Structure 1
Amino acid sequence: MKWIVLILIILVILIIAVSFYAANFFLNVALFRDNNWYDKTGHKMMNPDNFNKGKSKYDLIEEEQNQQGDEFWQEGFAKDHWLKTDGENLYSRLIIPHPESKKWVICVHGYRSYGKRDMAFVASKFSEQQYNILIPDLRAHGKSTGNIIGMGWLDRLDLLKWIQEVIDIEQAAEIILFGGSMGAATVMMTSGERLPQNIKGLVVDCGYSSVYDEFGAMLRSAFKLPAFPILTIADLLAKKKVGYSLKDASSVAQLTKNHLPTLFIHGTGDKFVPHQMLYQNMEASNGVKESLIIEKAPHLSSFIYEPEHYFDTVFAFVHRYC
């Protein structure tokens, strides 16, 4: 009996030790900008669709959209705009094709991406609707400085400052917040803060319900590891390593305080953020809300799979409620 107890104790100690190692490793991969393992291996494990590009009709559509976005990004009415805050230097592209218009959109990119890659084409479509645009690089992304990835939770505070930057340019600005992936989470997490009346509505594409739930999904799907106890330990470590709790970083909790019109979008082929999270987010929001589900679309690819339907739906929603 004593040997059985001793073996059980050793097993428990081993499980805890391995779980601490796994939790620490996962946090370093997920929440720090500079991570060689993520660059070489982790990215492909977490979001395999980014590496399965070929010459399908969707790949060709994406190439055309990227070309249109690149050309729009370089127009004479676009310029770099910087914001210094909390010791960091944050970058954005300020695009004002319609100086007389009061309509603005702030477009927020996804995880480990940057504004131009994710949002240049989207910005060009908003410009066709007479919008001016601000596209930030979130801290620890793109041209912005920083090493800790905020997963939307820290970024919500930066987004409040970007909103003020737009208002400083146009006091009567009527602003839509548009986000994709982590950018969508940023917008949803910002929705629970005290926002100026200039914010008229939200469009969120494939955002997660919380960082805790998203990391749990990644542990299971990409790493083939159980969420418990690794994620429980990771949550405790995160508070010391990056200054925020994975559970506190919740789109759902913030959306319960949201009363703005919100359009929720997701593709059913998303392997990075489970599309079922749309329903959790939508259920939580208290404003006018509608959804757009694009069948078989991978992560942040709904406007590639059904571009006309996507933007017709977005602008019909915006014009109707915002």
Structure 2
Amino acid sequence: MTGIIWIVIILIGLIMGLAFYAANFFINVALFRENEWYHTTGHKMMNPDNFNKGRSQYDLTEEKQLQKGAEFWEQPFAADYWLEVGNERLYSRLFQPYPKTKKWVICVHGYRSYGKRDMSYVASMFAEQGYNCLVPDLRAHGQSSGNVIGMGWLDRLDLLSWIQEVLKIEPNAEIILFGGSMGASTVMMTSGEDLPKNVKVLVADCGYSSVYHEFGAMLRSAFRLPNFPILTIADSLARKKVGYSLKEASAVDQLAKNERPLLLIHGTGDKFVPHQMLYKNMEATNGVKESLMIEQAPHLSSFIYEPEHYFETVFEFIHRYCQ
């Protein structure tokens, strides 16, 4: 009997040791900018649709959108804009085609991407509707400094700073917050803060309900690993390594304090952020809410799959609550 007990103890110790290793590895991969394994292997495992490009109608549409965004990025009314936040130097691209307008949008990119890649086309569409635009690179992304990825939680405070920068330019600005992927969760996490009245409408495309649940989804789908006890250990490690908890980084908890109109968008073919998270976010918010679900669209691709329907829905929603 004693031998069996020792075998059980050894097995439990071995399992916990392996779980700690897996949790530590996962945190290093997910939350630090400089991680070679993510760039060579992890990205393809977590978001395979990014690597399945061909010559379909959607690939051709994406190419055209990226070209339009690149041209917009270099327009004469565009300029680089920098902001010092703590020890970080954050970058954004500022577009002011309409110096006298009060209509502004801040467009926030996704995980391990950057503003030009994800949001230049979106910004160009807003400009066609008469908006000035600010497109930041989140900390540890693009041209912004930093090594710790904020997953929207640290970024929500940076977004508050960017809002204040817009208000320095135009004190009476009416501001739309638009985000995709991690940028969508950044917008939703920001919604629970003490926002100025200038922020009128929120649009969140394929955002996760919390970092804890998003990482749980990735452990299951990409790594084929169980959530427990790995995710519990990872949550504790995150507190020590990056200064925030995976559980506290919750769009759902922040949306419970939100009273602004929110449009939620998701594609049913999303393999990176499960589209079912839209329903959790929808249920959580206290403000006016609507949703748009695009059939079969992969992660952050809804405006590629149904561009006309997508932007008609977005601008109709915005104009309803922000004249």
TM-score of the alignment, normalized to the shorter chain, above 0.5: yes
Distance 2:193 2:85 in 1: 19
Distance 1:66 1:238 in 2: 35
Distance 1:87 1:263 in 2: 34
Report the counterpart of residue 94 of structure 1 in structure 2: 94
Distance 2:201 2:7 in 1: 58
Report the counterpart of residue 42 of structure 2 in structure 1: 42
Q: Deviations over 1:215-274 (max 9, x none)?
A: 000000000000110000000010000000000000000000000000000000000000
- Is 1:230 the counterpart of 2:230? The answer is yes
SS in 1 for 2:68: helix
Report the counterpart of residue 266 of structure 1 in structure 2: 266
Report the counterpart of residue 252 of structure 1 in structure 2: 252
- Is 1:147 the counterpart of 2:159? The answer is no
- Is 1:177 the counterpart of 2:177? The answer is yes
Report the counterpart of residue 241 of structure 1 in structure 2: 241
Report the counterpart of residue 83 of structure 2 in structure 1: 83
SS in 1 for 2:158: helix
Report the counterpart of residue 64 of structure 2 in structure 1: 64
What TM-score do the two structures reach when normalised by structure 2?
A: 0.99
Report the counterpart of residue 4 of structure 1 in structure 2: 4
SS in 1 for 2:252: helix
Distance 1:101 1:308 in 2: 25
Distance 1:48 1:96 in 2: 36
- Is 1:127 the counterpart of 2:131? The answer is no
Report the counterpart of residue 311 of structure 1 in structure 2: 311
The residue type paired with residue 274 of structure 1 is P
Q: Deviations over 1:103-146 (max 9, x none)?
A: 00000000000000000000000001100000000000000000
Question: Shift of residue 321 of structure 1?
Answer: 1.5
Distance 1:167 1:321 in 2: 20
SS in 2 for 1:135: strand
The residue type paired with residue 74 of structure 1 is E
Report the counterpart of residue 110 of structure 1 in structure 2: 110
The residue type paired with residue 199 of structure 1 is V
The residue type paired with residue 181 of structure 1 is S
The residue type paired with residue 133 of structure 1 is C
What TM-score do the two structures reach when normalised by structure 1?
A: 1.00
Identity of aligned residues (%): 75
Gaps of 5+ in 2: none
Distance 1:124 1:32 in 2: 31
Distance 1:88 1:2 in 2: 57
Question: Shift of residue 81 of structure 1?
Answer: 0.1
- Is 1:168 the counterpart of 2:192? The answer is no
The residue type paired with residue 112 of structure 1 is R
- Is 1:219 the counterpart of 2:230? The answer is no
Question: Shift of residue 3 of structure 1?
Answer: 1.2
Q: Deviations over 1:27-77 (max 9, x none)?
A: 000000000000000000000000000000000000000000000000000
How many residues in Structure 1 have an aligned counterpart in Structure 2? Answer: 322
SS in 2 for 1:179: strand
Q: Deviations over 1:68-95 (max 9, x none)?
A: 0000000000000000111111000000
Runs of 4+ aligned residues of structure 1 deviating over 2 Å after TM superposition are none
Report the counterpart of residue 284 of structure 2 in structure 1: 284
Distance 1:287 1:136 in 2: 26
Report the counterpart of residue 206 of structure 1 in structure 2: 206
SS in 2 for 1:154: helix
SS in 1 for 2:153: coil
Report the counterpart of residue 297 of structure 1 in structure 2: 297
Distance 1:306 1:64 in 2: 14
